[in-house]
Amino acid sequence: MKKLLATVALALMSQPAFAEDAPRWSLAIHGGAGTLDPKAMTPEKRAAYEADLQRALDAGSKILAEGGAAMDAIKAAIVIMEDSPLFNAGKGAVFTWDGTNELDASIMDGRDRSAGAVAGVKTVKNPILLADTVRTHSEHVFLVGKGAEDFAVSKGFAVTPPEYFATQARREALERLKAERLSALDVDHKFGTVGAVALDQSGNMAAGTSTGGMTGKRWGRVGDAPVIGAGTYADNRACAVSATGWGEYFLRVGVAHEICARLRVQRETLPRQMGIGDPHRSPTPMSHYYQLLAISDQSAADAVMADVASLGGDGGVILVTPEGHAIFSFNTTGMYRGRATSAGVNEVAIFGGEEKASMTPDH
Ligand code: ASP
């Protein structure tokens, strides 16, 4: 018995283990968070968003279900949303004050915490793929502007004409912002940044985020999305996170890293607090441990989002955990989102509280 407890404790300490032997995977995606009036959402508009979210979710899920890598799954999901004109990333990105589309993206591998990011690029069709090439084919983490574009060309990326990214709806949002002296929050409600996080069957996690930023941005403004630790973070010991919202606040809180740090500490301290592996205490059922972990993970994400709100910011996050839970937390009326897991969860949602599946641990 002692030996069994010691083995369980060791497994928990070295790598947050699955409760079952069955391979598990998990994927969550978002297409931005913000203020949206449910009445303003026509059934056609809703169906179009849901269809693209579902396509992204399916592309990532297929890779994970077949035993592919978390990194490949998030890239597949994000590329689909970058290519959709509905989202504020790639095609359909918002306009800067000067009438251009400047794209930011970041990606991180939870295995070795290798990371890549780009900001202010105007000629790369899928910025998430460029961010990944920075990660894998440069000795840097973060490249910006013309330098990032030169790097892209040197690595064989095609130069995409800037007109490709422009859409009429986003152009009108800029015109309204200028004519009515509105803020970005009034015209695009911050909806549209995209992101994905995944856990694969080997226990590896990855996170990525891609955006056009905020309508009317000037002076080379960069938000949280391409900043490792703010908009994106992945660490196999804790979680993979992608954020969306009012970037300035997410930068100040360091949202993605803050959430991962809290989850990591929980996994370092909870087993001991619960007496797991302690031969002098009666054994804690592992199901209790996993249940407590799932509740504490959601609370940690909610607490960090409450911190963002306390400063005056809003938005949301998606995360997956080593145990395979896909978690959402947002303090806006809606977040375009979806999640799928090996346990059969598969759903997309827009407004708060629309999830059908319970993520209560099934361990
Ligand atoms: N976080 C992004 C930014 O501030 C915008 C968004 O998520 O909608 O650039």
Rounded average pLDDT over 309-321: 96
DSSP one-letter code for 281 = S
DSSP assignment of 305-360: HHHHHHHT--EEEEEE-TT--EEEEESSSEEEEEEEETTS-EEEEEETT---S---
Q: Whose CA is nearest to atom 9 of ligand 1?
A: 213
On the question of pLDDT at 2 being above 50, the answer is no
Ligand 1 close to Cβ of residue 32 (< 6 A): yes
Mention the CATH class of domain 23-351. alpha beta
Q: What is the pLDDT of residue 234?
A: 98
Instruction: Tell me the pLDDT tens digit for each residue of 68-117.
Output: 999 999 999 999 999 999 999 999 999 999 999 999 999 999 999 999 99
Distance 260 CA to ligand 1 centre (A): 20
Q: Which two tokens stand for residue 312?
A: 């005056």
Cα separations (Å) of 59 from 76, 92, 321? Answer: 6, 20, 20
Instruction: Tell me the pLDDT tens digit for each residue of 157-215.
Output: 999 999 999 999 999 989 988 888 776 666 665 678 999 999 999 999 999 999 999 99
How many whole angstroms separate alpha carbon 95 and alpha carbon 170? 6
Mutate to test the pocket of ligand 1, among 87, 185, 244, 336 (most ligand atoms within 8 A of CB): 244
How many whole angstroms separate alpha carbon 338 and alpha carbon 355? 9
Q: What is the mean pLDDT of the chain?
A: 90
Q: What is the pLDDT of residue 278?
A: 83
Ligand 1 close to Cβ of residue 189 (< 6 A): no
Q: What is the pLDDT of residue 18?
A: 43
Q: What is the pLDDT of residue 275?
A: 86
For the chain, give every domain's residue range.
23-351
Rounded average pLDDT over 148-152: 98
Mutate to test the pocket of ligand 1, among 211, 219, 221, 222 (most ligand atoms within 8 A of CB): 211
Distance 315 CA to ligand 1 centre (A): 9
Q: Looking at 15-141, list the stretches that DSSP marks H as alpha helix, in order from N- to C-terminal side.
A: 43-65, 70-83, 127-137
Can you tell me which atom of ligand 1 is nearest the CA of 191? 8
Distance 357 CA to ligand 1 centre (A): 28
Ligand 1 close to Cβ of residue 31 (< 6 A): no
Are 33 and 315 spatial neighbours (Cβ–Cβ below 8 Å)? yes
> How many C-alpha atoms does 320 have within 13 Å on its Cβ side?
33
How many whole angstroms separate alpha carbon 297 and alpha carbon 348? 21
Query: Which element (helix H / strand E) includes 193?
Result: strand 191-199
Ligand 1 close to Cβ of residue 247 (< 6 A): yes
- Give phi and psi for 352, each to the nearest 5: -65, 145
Q: Which two tokens stand for residue 230?
A: 């703010």
Ligand 1 close to Cβ of residue 245 (< 6 A): yes
Respond yes or no: is residue 193 known to be catalytic: yes
Instruction: Tell me the pLDDT tens digit for each residue of 200-253.
Output: 999 999 999 999 999 999 999 999 999 999 999 999 999 999 999 999 999 999
Ligand 1 close to Cβ of residue 224 (< 6 A): yes
Q: pTM for the whole thing?
A: 0.91
